[in-house]
């Protein structure tokens, strides 16, 4: 029996295991930021209750049983053991509370996506297959006003009104990626960082870019959206690697 087949008597166990695996792999890819970034997953219909990483725990050490339940309608959540820091509460509470289609939310300051967010022109142009995935599917926030406390979180959530746009390039900050499941959201975050790296490296050459037409970029984005189970299989393979290594993420 693999570690992922062990199911303790804890609610939402499979979701916890998936989220813990996403934390572990994000750290392995060096897409984390010390102990400062946050992932969350809604566990009720209106998104007011969600799983989140405990405050100030490194992504590489997070286990399924470590994840805390946050209630956006209960400020006392901030007073419990391992309560999220105010920025986690502000950003994720704002997103889950005001964006019904954001079941899962992942916020990172990954290097290349943050470089893109730091440019005066933060568009991700479709120069390859990965960047074409995000054609017309991201929004740029150019209104950064400091740490993502409660008001900032609500402001960010208002920018995610189009269900088609599931990546926010947070100007001067990082990225926020949303989705229906952990697998979908992690897969999207992973490929956005890969696309941003290719784009930034292409800009560094100083050579003219070979930009895809809008028609081909949109066609590619739709084809990827319809590609069967890529996100589910991606996360399943990552969990398989962790299981083979004897990781304790699913405990």
pTM: 0.93
Q: Positive or negative, the Cα torsion across 224, 227, 229, 233?
A: negative
Give the separation between CA 211 and CA 18, rounded to whole angstroms.
Answer: 36
d(CA 87, CA 37): 9
Pair of tokens at residue 197: 């790296």
- For residue 152, pLDDT over 90 is answered with no
Which uninterrupted H or E stretch holds 140?
strand 138-141
Question: How is domain 3-244 classified at the CATH fold level?
Answer: L-fuculose-1-phosphate Aldolase (3.40.225)
Helix (H, G, I), strand (E, B) or coil at 174: strand
Q: Do 138 and 176 meet the contact criterion of CB atoms below 8 Å apart?
A: no
Separation between Cα atoms, residue 37 and residue 106, nearest integer Å: 8
How do residues 112-128 score in pLDDT, each as one tens digit?
A: 999 999 999 999 999 99
| CB atoms inside a 10 Å sphere around CB 58 | 12
Domain ranges across the chain: 3-244
Q: What is the pLDDT of residues 153-209, one digit of tens each?
A: 788 888 999 999 999 999 999 999 999 999 999 999 999 999 999 999 999 999 999
**C-alpha closest to that of 25 among 185, 206, 229:** 185
């Amino acid at each position: 029996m693999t570690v992922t087949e062990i199911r303790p008597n804890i609610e939402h166990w499979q979701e916890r295991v998936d989220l813990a695996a996403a934390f572990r792999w994000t750290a392995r890819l060096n897409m984390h930021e010390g102990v400062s970034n946050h992932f969350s997953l809604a566990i009720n219909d209106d998104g007011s209750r969600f799983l989140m990483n405990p405050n100030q725990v490194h992504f590489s050490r997070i286990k399924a049983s470590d994840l805390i339940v946050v209630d956006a309608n209960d400020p006392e959540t901030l007073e419990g053991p391992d309560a999220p820091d105010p920025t986690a509460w502000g950003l994720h509470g704002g997103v889950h509370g005001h964006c019904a289609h954001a079941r899962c939310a992942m916020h990172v300051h990954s290097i290349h996506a943050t470089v893109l967010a730091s440019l005066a022109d933060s568009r991700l142009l479709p120069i390859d297959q990965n960047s074409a995935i995000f054609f017309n599917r991201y929004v740029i926030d150019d209104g950064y006003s400091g740490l993502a406390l409660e008001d900032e979180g609500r402001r960010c959530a208002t920018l995610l009104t189009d269900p088609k746009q599931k990546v926010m390039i947070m100007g001067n900050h990082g990225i926020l990626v949303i989705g229906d499941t952990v697998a979908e959201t992690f897969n999207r975050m992973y490929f956005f960082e890969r696309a941003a790296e290719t784009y930034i490296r292409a800009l560094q050459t100083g050579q003219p870019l070979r930009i895809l037409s809008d028609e081909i970029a949109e066609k590619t984005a739709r084809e990827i959206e319809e590609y069967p189970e890529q996100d589910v299989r991606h996360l399943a393979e990552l969990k398989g690697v962790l299981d083979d290594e004897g990781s304790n993420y699913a405990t």
